[in-house]
Amino acid sequence: MNTSDVAGGTALDLIALLYRDAALDDFSARLAAIERLPNDAAGKIDALETIRMAMAIKHELEQHQLSEQGLLAMVDSAKDLSSRLDLTSLLNAIVTRARTLLGSHLAWLTVYDEEAEEFRVQVTDGAISINTTKMTASRKHGIAGMVLSTRLPFYTPNYLLDNRFPHDPALDSTFRSEGVAAMAGVPLLFDDDVIGLLFVADRYQRTHTALNIAILSTLATHAAVAIKNAKAFEQAKMALEKADHARAELERHARDVQKAAEAHEQLTALLAKGASLITLTQTVAQLLGGSVLVLDEAFHVISRASSAEYKGILSDAYAPHTAPSASITRAIRESRQGGRSVIALAKESGEDGGKDGEICRVAAVIGGNDVLGAMLLYRHEDLDEISVRTFERSASVMAIVLLSQERMEASRNREVSGLLRSLVATHLEGRGSTLERARRLGLDLSQAFSLILVDTKHPGPETVARRLRSENRFSDLVLDELDGTLAILCATTKAQDVVREFSAIARREFNGAFCGILSRPIATVEAFRVVYGSLRRGLSVLQRIGINGQVIDQNQMALYSVLFESHDQGSLKAFIDACVGPVIAHDLKRGTQIADTLLKYLDNNQNAKSTAASLKIHVNTVRQRLANVDELLGHWSSPSRALEIHVALRLWSLTA
């Protein structure tokens, strides 16, 4: 082969390799083949020079191709910046492109946390260790420290052996697990601030070209723009949400103000029309969406109403002068002193059997310098400030109503008091005027009527009368304090119902500390004075014989009529002697205690053991004394006979 043949054949072969974009190894193989020819071979030097030129051309083509790929990646990345809204997805795409373009094994992106002063991994690509996805880097260690301090790219062919920067043992351990050798990192710069870092790493020693670093830096710039755009978008979103919230709050406030104005107008209109207390209470309950109780000065409920929204239990559970109501009493006092409503109590969900939490807001009802009562509002949640003001204005409206009612009640009470005192007066005023006065009070004395006379000590009759007047069912009755007792006048047809309802209230609220008598039907006003005197004397006897917590029908006391109709002590002594005279005489003669034992026996429901315990004697002694009773009084165990003996012994014990 002549010189031209070797050089010409090599040139044609190289052109073919370049045409089919053969790998650089193919060119290297041709170069090695020519170098093996003898040095004096014709055309060898020209062939070697031709191959080296072809390899240079191949390298230039690869660089152009890499530049073209980088440019296309920049275009795609720029498109992503304008089309993708999800930051994580966008950063993942950037990291993946960086790893692919640079042909690296691993790539990741970190974001700087200013509060912690460290870089935290956001996204990774190509990691095989879970620790890689959780890496944090101090601003003073590793490549992160170098890049942060210089704001320039940095790369190393062998990270673990590079002593140009201080190492972090935790990071070194992670990179050993990944098998990392070479590494390059570039800053994510925005307004000259490093907001993050973009890294690529290889599991073999490698150097990076200026083009590689340029591509990596451009992708880092895109990532910085994406992060800042995301933050700006988040800030704009938050600002928009704040603006929307402020607008909604303003609209809500305007609605609340309008609602409060309408509520005030509605309450004022009802007040001007002379609406009843219950109507106003119902209106307030509906306006505020809860249960409303109106209390008098003694903290008794005089009006209540609930809205459909209220499903609680505390409202129905309220009772005055009990341990649970102590906090409400304190709250009323605080409201009186401060002039504003206050929270009296709050129950969490599930307490006291309630499914939802409840609160009780209290406002004192004030008239002048006096506390007329209070308003209680029970709700599942507290009111806003404007609704609180509506509640407090409602308390002022209630004060006006209560003052008006107080004036009307005072006028009616004067009428009632005058009627009762005229009926018991020695000289009854004209029959016609008495009937007319009663008729104005809603009582027809031309028909049969009844008197209920009640003795109450704690509370007194005046307080009990006020309490009963606050109940709608008693509001139309003629009742008042009369000579230290409570007198109630009503039609005979209603008498039993009145007794039953009064007894229920008295037992519940006054601890049963009362006794009373219901008269027989009274036919004429002239007979009232005699019946009243009889019932007064009957009350005295009821107290002596220990009857308490009951209202007795006058007909049930026929047995004691002699005691009711006369103050004659002789009649009383005769009754006692007739019933238990032999027993008393026996005790006086023999010095025994049979009468006392029998009284205790009857007081203890004829139980010998209880009697023995109360007298501190043996039960056989009780039985022996009772045997003497049989001898002295004969058969005495029948109910009516035992009752007579019991009453007689009671009277004897009080008069002895």
Return the bridge partners of 485, or none: 482
Rounded Cα distance between 271 and 274, Å, is 5
Gap between the terminal Cα atoms of the chain: 165
CB distance 359 to 382 below 8 Å: yes
Q: Do the domains at 274-409 and 428-565 have one common CATH topology?
A: no
Residue 427: Cβ-neighbour burial (10 angstroms; 0-12, 13-18, 19+): exposed
Instruction: Give the CATH number of domain 428-565; options: 3.40.1620, 2.60.40, 3.30.70, 3.10.450.
Output: 3.30.70
Residue 656 vs residue 288, higher pLDDT: 288
Rounded Cα distance between 227 and 88, Å, is 9
pLDDT recorded at residue 567: 45
CB within 8 A of 18, min separation 6: which ones? Answer: 54, 57, 58, 61
Query: Could you give phi then psi for residue 354, rounded to 5 degrees?
Result: -80, 140
**Residues 547-595: tens digit of each pLDDT:** 788 888 887 665 555 554 554 566 667 778 878 888 889 889 888 998 8
pLDDT recorded at residue 563: 53
Query: Could you give phi then psi for residue 369, rounded to 5 degrees?
Result: -105, 5
Rounded Cα distance between 185 and 201, Å, is 9
Return the bridge partners of 363, or none: 375
Rounded Cα distance between 228 and 195, Å, is 9
pLDDT recorded at residue 4: 47
Q: Say which range, 149-158, 282-291, 301-310, 535-544, has the weakest mean pLDDT.
A: 535-544
Rounded Cα distance between 445 and 285, Å, is 40
**Residues 78-106: tens digit of each pLDDT:** 555 545 557 788 888 888 888 888 889 99
Tell me the DSSP string of 81-115: HHH---HHHHHHHHHHHHHHHTT-SEEEEEEEETT
Give Cα 568 to chain centroid, integer Å: 68
CATH architecture of 87-234: 2-Layer Sandwich (3.30)
Residue 121 has pLDDT above 90, yes or no: yes
CB within 8 A of 311, min separation 6: which ones? Answer: 355, 356, 380
Q: Specify the CATH number of the domain 274-409.
A: 3.30.450.40
The residue type at 499: V
pLDDT recorded at residue 545: 64
Give the containing element (helix H, strand E) for 188.
Answer: strand 182-190
CB distance 220 to 181 below 8 Å: no
- How is the chain split into domains, by residue range? 3-69, 87-234, 274-409, 428-565, 569-655
**Residues 351-402: tens digit of each pLDDT:** 554 446 788 899 988 887 788 888 989 988 888 888 888 888 888 888 888 7
Token pair of 647 as six digits:
């009453």
Place of tokens 């009529």: 561
Q: What is the pTM of this model?
A: 0.44
Helix axes 277-288, 385-424, angle to 10 degrees: 160
* 411 three-class SS: helix
Rounded Cα distance between 534 and 555, Å, is 12
